[in-house]
Structure 1
Amino acid sequence: MSDPAWQTIHIHREAPPKPVLGAPCNGCGQCCLVEPCPLGMVISRRRRGACAALRWDEGQRLYRCGVVSEPAEVLGPRWRWLGPLAARLARRWISAGSGCDAELELAPGDRAG
């Protein structure tokens, strides 16, 4: 049986390092790679593991919540009309603008340069 305190996540090589608790979000994506927010759980149909709505922004070299940045794409044509509401909910559930609240630590040496 595996230790529930340990989880392997796959982070884009160019993603910024996780900021310290309370510091502004820098798009490292680690929180959403570990588990989805409540809305992400609905979209991803899972409680653990990477959120299906998480998007890598190649131009800015950081992760973004797809429900916030491109809700129509994430929700698809059938649910596109829910985009504005879903984006508001996602911003609330990911605590947008209030600083990093992810109490995560990478094991030493896990981050390739």
Structure 2
Amino acid sequence: MHPTIIHIHTDAPPKPAWGAPCNGCGLCCLSEPCPIGMLVSRKRHGICKALRWSDEVNRYVCGMLLAPAEVLGWPAQGLLSRWLAPWLARRSRRWIAAGLGCDAHIQALPQEPGP
């Protein structure tokens, strides 16, 4: 497997240990989308379209949990936003296995300085 360069927010927390609670490091979602992320991003590799940086808590958060209508491009006052978005946010929590611990099999290494 070839190393991939992933640009991580400088204030992002370090990746937790395998199985430890998610701390919003973003490493997993920056490298490849989860199953729900694959649907909304329409890709299997690279940054998930739903990934958001939160300045309030200095961590990455899943837009499908917080604002699925925004991620999907639905009008803010539309029927889908009012009725389906809250249901989708609840389902997304289950689909991304929120709260079950870190399952990312990747390591973050600092980029070596160039010449």
CA deviation string 1:63-111 (max 9, x = no partner): 000000111211222653432332233212321111111111123x339
Matches within 5 A, 1:40-51: 40-51=37-48
Matched residue type, 1:67: M
- Give the number of equivalent residue pairs: 107
So what's the TM-score if we normalise by structure 1? Answer: 0.84
Matched residue type, 1:102: A
CA contact (8 A) 2:52 2:62 kept: yes
CA contact (8 A) 2:15 2:23 kept: yes
Matches within 5 A, 1:12-91: 12-77=9-74, 79-80=80-81, 81-91=83-93
Shift of 1:20: 0.4
Larger Rg: 2
So what's the TM-score if we normalise by structure 2? Answer: 0.82
Runs of 4+ in 1 over 4 A off after TM superposition: none
Superposition RMSD on alpha carbons, in Å?
1.8
CA contact (8 A) 1:39 1:89 kept: no
Gaps of 5+ in 1: none
Equivalent residue number for residue 111 of structure 2: 110
Identity %: 55
CA deviation string 1:50-73 (max 9, x = no partner): 001000001111000000011121
